[in-house]
Amino acid sequence: MHRYRARVTTADLDAAGIVWYGNFLRFVEAAEDDLLRAGGVARHRIREEHNLVLTRCRFSCTFRSPARPDDELDIALMVTESTDTHVDCDFDIRHVPSERLIAHGSFRSVCLDPSSSSPKQLPPSVRAAYAAASVPESRSR
């Protein structure tokens, strides 16, 4: 499991004064960036170093309760499956400090050849970074 903290900003809000649901993808993306960085991988260098792109091929999310201005969010990523060419990840987003569940879902990241768009092997460094987030962890700190 990999944990990441984010703060809701004014620019994230919709007309109801809560986080626009599409912006939860930004938080999850930032959490995945952070997971990779924690494993020593800079996502933006994967292409130049390996001639590969790491991309999202599916994403699903259920929205359970609103995130409000100034809320601090705890995004937890849990890698559930990892193969040569893709990684599946569950996530949940909770309010800090109440642990109220705001949203949860899953996504799949795949490694592609940038010219042919065919699946390619994940570089070992990337696999290792995700593997570190496949160990469950008690949420309480």
Q: Site residues (CB under 8 A) for its own copies?
A: 7, 9-11, 13-17, 20-23, 25-26, 29-30, 32-33, 37, 42-44, 47, 53, 55-63, 65-66, 68-70, 105, 114, 117
Tokens of 25: 């993808």
Least separation in angstroms between CB 111 and its own copies? 13
Query: 39 exposed, middle or buried (CB, 10 Å; 0-12, 13-18, 19+)?
Result: middle
Q: Residue 79: what are its φ and ψ, rounded to 5°?
A: -75, 125
Tell me the closest approach of the beta carbon of residue 23 to its own copies, in angstroms: 8
- Pair of tokens at residue 12: 């994230």
Shortest approach of its own copies to residue 113 CB, angstroms?
Answer: 12
Q: Return d(Cα 5, Cα 141) in angstroms, integer.
A: 14
**What would you report as the CA-atom Rg of the chain, rounded to the nearest whole angstrom?**
16
Residue number with CB closer to its own copies (37 or 135): 37
From the CB of 138, what's the least distance to its own copies, in Å?
26
Contact yes or no for 25/72 (Cβ under 8 A): no
- Cβ closest to its own copies, residue 22 vs residue 81: 22
Nearer to its own copies, 19 or 76 (CB): 19
